[in-house]
Structure 1
Amino acid sequence: KHVRCWPISMLGCQPAGQSACQGDGQFGRTEVIDNSLNPDFLRKFVLDYFFEEKQNLPLGDTHAPPGHRVCVCVSWLIAPPGSGIPGKKCGTIILIAEELGNCRDVATLQFCANKLDKKDFFGKSDPFMVFYRSNEDGTFTICHKTEVVRNTLNPVWQAFAIPVRALCNGDYDRAIKVEVYDWDRDGSHDFIGEFTTSYRELARGQSQFNVYEVVNPRKKMKKKKYLNSGTVRMGGTWAGDTGGTQINFTVAIDFTASNGNPSQSTSLHYLSPYQLNAYAMALKAVGEIIQDYDSDKMFPALGFGAKIPPDGRVSHEFPLNGDAANPACSGIEGVLEAYHRSLRSVQLYGPTNFAPVVNHVARSAAAVLDGSQYFVLLIITDGVISDMAQTKEAIVNVSPGGAMVELDGDDIRISSRGKVAERDIVQFVPFRDYMDGGGSPVLSMARLAKDVLAEIPDQFISYMKARGIKPQPA
Structure 2
Amino acid sequence: GIPGKKCGTVIVTAEELGCCRDSVLMQFCANKLDKKDFFGKSDPFLVFHRSNEDGSFTICHKTEVVKNTLNPVWQAFKISVRALCNGDYDRTIKVEVYDWDRDGSHDFIGEFTTSYRELSRGQSQFNVYEVINPKKKGKKKKYVNSGTVTLLSFLIETEVSFLDYIKGGTQINFTVAIDFTASNGNPSQPTSLHYMNPYQLNAYGMALRAVGEIIQDYDSDKMFPALGFGARLPPDGRVSHEFALNGNPQNPYCHGIDGVMEAYYRSLKSVQLYGPTNFAPVINHVARYAASVKDGSQYFVLLIITDGVISDMAQTKESIVNVS
Q: TM-score range by the shorter chain?
A: 0.5 to 0.7
TM-score, structure 1 normalization: 0.37
Q: 1:134 to 1:398 in 2, by over 3 A?
A: closer
How far 1:244 moved relative to its partner? 2.3
Q: State how far apart, in whole Å, the 1-side matches of 2:15 and 2:72 are.
A: 34
Q: What does residue 143 of structure 1 align with?
A: 60
Q: Which residues in structure 2 correspond to 1:22-421 (within 5 Å)?
A: 86-245=3-162, 368-370=168-170, 399-400=219-220, 420-421=254-255
Q: State how far apart, in whole Å, the 2-side matches of 1:135 and 1:243 are.
A: 27
1:467 aligns with 2:287: no
Task: Please state whether the residue corresponding to 1:188 is helix, strand or coil.
Answer: coil
Q: 1:208 to 1:468 in 2, by over 3 A?
A: same
Q: State how far apart, in whole Å, the 2-side matches of 1:421 and 1:212 are.
A: 63
Q: State how far apart, in whole Å, the 2-side matches of 1:422 and 1:234 are.
A: 55
Q: State how far apart, in whole Å, the 1-side matches of 2:97 and 2:81 are.
A: 21
Task: Please state whether the residue corresponding to 1:165 is helix, strand or coil.
Answer: helix
Structure 2 unmatched ranges of 5 or more: 172-215, 227-244, 247-251, 259-295, 302-324
After superposition, give the CA deviation of every residue in 1:106-148 in whole Å (9 maximum; x if it has no partner): 1000000000000000000000000010111111000100000
Q: 1:397 to 1:246 in 2, by over 3 A?
A: closer
Would you say the 8 A contact 1:210–1:233 is kept in 2?
yes
How far 1:98 moved relative to its partner? 2.3
Q: 1:400 to 1:187 in 2, by over 3 A?
A: same
Which structure features the higher share of strand residues? 2
Q: State how far apart, in whole Å, the 2-side matches of 1:125 and 1:181 are.
A: 9
Amino acid at match of 1:206: Q
Q: 1:182 to 1:400 in 2, by over 3 A?
A: same
Task: Please state whether the residue corresponding to 1:92 is helix, strand or coil.
Answer: coil
Q: Which has the higher contact order (CA 8 A, sep 6+)?
A: 2
Would you say the 8 A contact 1:400–1:421 is kept in 2?
no
Q: State how far apart, in whole Å, the 2-side matches of 1:225 and 1:397 are.
A: 70
How many percent identity over aligned positions? 66
How far 1:204 moved relative to its partner? 1.1
Q: 1:93 to 1:397 in 2, by over 3 A?
A: closer
How far 1:232 moved relative to its partner? 0.3
Q: State how far apart, in whole Å, the 1-side matches of 2:71 and 2:18 are.
A: 36
Q: State how far apart, in whole Å, the 2-side matches of 1:218 and 1:195 are.
A: 14
How far 1:466 moved relative to its partner? 8.7
Would you say the 8 A contact 1:399–1:421 is kept in 2?
no
Amino acid at match of 2:52: N
Q: 1:370 to 1:124 in 2, by over 3 A?
A: same
After superposition, give the CA deviation of every residue in 1:65-94 in whole Å (9 maximum; x if it has no partner): xxxxxxxxxxxxxxxxxxxxx423233221
Q: 1:113 to 1:468 in 2, by over 3 A?
A: same
Q: What does residue 207 of structure 2 align with?
A: none
How far 1:191 moved relative to its partner? 0.1
Q: State how far apart, in whole Å, the 2-side matches of 1:138 and 1:175 are.
A: 10
Q: 1:467 to 1:88 in 2, by over 3 A?
A: same
After superposition, give the CA deviation of every residue in 1:294-350 in whole Å (9 maximum; x if it has no partner): xxxxxxxxxxxxxxxxxxxxxxxxxxxxxxxxxxxxxxxxxxxxxxxxxxxxxxxxx
How far 1:397 moved relative to its partner? 11
